[in-house]
Structure 1
Amino acid sequence: MSTLEQNLDNLTVDSSSNDNSSSSDESSDEEVSFPVAMWDFNQCDPKKCSGRKLARLKLIKTLKVKQKFSGIVLTPTGVKCVSPADRDVVSNKGIAVVDCSWARIDETPIAALKPQHGRLLPFLVAANPINYGRPCQLSCVEAIAATMYITGYKTIAKQYLNKFSWGHSFIELNKDILEIYSNCSDSQSVVFQQNKYIEEQQKQQELDKNGKS
């Protein structure tokens, strides 16, 4: 859990995460100036899929399996973490995510996508109802919002999350580390801060455990 290799599964989002509705005011949303897309492998219950809900709200475009995307692609085949250095790519070419089920990852043809800018997400904790509190098991909207936040599009990230009644919890759970990532210079510094944060959390948990014993 202390190396980038041990976080290769961070970017496979769980399409089964509940998409409970939100009461946010969509009319006041800031316009998104870059494309947001997903490859939907149809492995989930449409009523519980955060990506499908974003599609219904016209906040994300669904790509065909063989369709290429030139922006940042969140995928477990990536070799670098998302960082603020990716802002120009996001601004000009957008963000795409692979939307599939954790339980069926081995049968999903992710490698066939071959993105130019494949990226991993650093350590973050899920807030979606299915995987609440679990490290790295993010829903589609959480993965997209995290990328937006880290690359400087914090307002738009919150807009996307606000379409879900539980969305605000993602920022609340990860506020400190998201701010740290968003102030890094590149992928290497994000990984360094990720590992430092995990180590500090592990030490704190050990202290808390010893204090209760």
Structure 2
Amino acid sequence: MRIYILPLFKDDPRKSTGVRLIRRGIAERGAPRGCVVLNPFSKIVISAEDIQLAERRGILAVDTSWKAIEEVRWPRGFWRRLPFLVAANPINYGIPYKLSTLEAISAALFILGHDEEAFSVLNEAKWGMEFYHLNRERLEAYRLKNRNDIEEAESMMIRELLR
């Protein structure tokens, strides 16, 4: 599956997981139209219903600092958000939804059933597999499911945490 990163250089490029994926040849720099755009503000969750589109057009992640997220002009495409997942990156460890670009891309790949590619992305960070271990149950609950099933699983997981 084609992976695109739109780096906005709002944080340290040496720590940028998106830039790292581009440097390693795993992702391409750019924002082609018509791809699945990972956007945390989207109302639509990524699901198995997006597999054909993602396989045909690719997945795009905007690489920026969470501090600058409100300023992003999101590229055209099919906006999708990720369901409830917990960050394992050193900056936002344990914080729900505040994933690095690398974590977001790998999560999308897992949900779309591209596990091998997802593991290959995670292996680009020392803490990559920690993301998988922290979220294994969640990722399995979301993997290859339709939107309704993912939203239901997400709600159930959040309710359990709030007990």
TM over 0.5: yes
Match of 2:43 among 69, 73, 79: 79
Letter of the 2:147 counterpart = S
User: What secondary structure does 2:139 align onto?
Assistant: helix
Match of 2:7 among 40, 47, 55: 40
Conserved in 1, the CA contact under 8 Å of 2:86 and 2:131?
yes
Query: Which residue is 1:96 aligned to?
Result: 60
Letter of the 1:202 counterpart = L
Conserved in 2, the CA contact under 8 Å of 1:50 and 1:140?
yes
Matches within 5 A, 1:128-207: 128-184=89-145, 186-203=146-163
| CA RMSD of superposed structures (Å) | 1.3
Query: What residue ranges of structure 1 are gaps of 5+ in the alignment?
Result: 1-33, 204-213
Query: What residue ranges of structure 2 are gaps of 5+ in the alignment?
Result: none
Query: Which residue is 2:80 aligned to?
Result: 119
For residues 90 and 118 of structure 1, the distance between their equivalents in structure 2, rounded to whole angstroms, comes to: 12
User: What secondary structure does 1:87 align onto?
Assistant: helix
For residues 41 and 32 of structure 2, the distance between their equivalents in structure 1, rounded to whole angstroms, comes to: 15
Query: Which residue is 1:50 aligned to?
Result: 17
For residues 164 and 101 of structure 1, the distance between their equivalents in structure 2, rounded to whole angstroms, comes to: 17
- The TM-score, its normalising length taken from structure 1, stands at 0.73
Q: By how many angstroms is 1:68 displaced?
A: 3.4
For residues 25 and 82 of structure 2, the distance between their equivalents in structure 1, rounded to whole angstroms, comes to: 24
Conserved in 1, the CA contact under 8 Å of 2:46 and 2:80?
yes
Letter of the 1:171 counterpart = Y
For residues 171 and 136 of structure 1, the distance between their equivalents in structure 2, rounded to whole angstroms, comes to: 14
Q: Which has the higher contact order (CA 8 A, sep 6+)?
A: 1
Matches within 5 A, 1:12-27: none
In the alignment of these two chains, the number of paired residues is 163
Q: By how many angstroms is 1:77 displaced?
A: 4.2
For residues 135 and 43 of structure 2, the distance between their equivalents in structure 1, rounded to whole angstroms, comes to: 23
For residues 72 and 37 of structure 2, the distance between their equivalents in structure 1, rounded to whole angstroms, comes to: 16
Conserved in 1, the CA contact under 8 Å of 2:113 and 2:144?
no
- The TM-score, its normalising length taken from structure 2, stands at 0.94
